Amino acid sequence: VSAEARWIEMSDIGKGIVELIEQHAVEKLVMGGAADEHYTE
């Protein structure tokens, strides 16, 4: 599996994700969340 990390700074997280998907022709997106309470906002 080939993977790359990408970062973008936006005030709206959802719009930022959609923008990156469009810009980089993302076909598959894997997202995760922290299971530890110390890593949540």
Say how far apart CA 10 and CA 16 lie, in whole Å.
6
Token pair for 27: 């076909």
The DSSP string of 1-41 is: ----------S-HHHHHHHHHHHTT-S--------SGGG--
Confidence of residue 30 (pLDDT cuts 50, 70, 90): confident
Would you state the pLDDT for residue 8?
Answer: 79
Token pair for 26: 């993302």
Q: Is the pTM of this model over 0.95?
A: no
Residue 41 has pLDDT above 70, yes or no: no
- Mean pLDDT of all residues in 15-31: 88
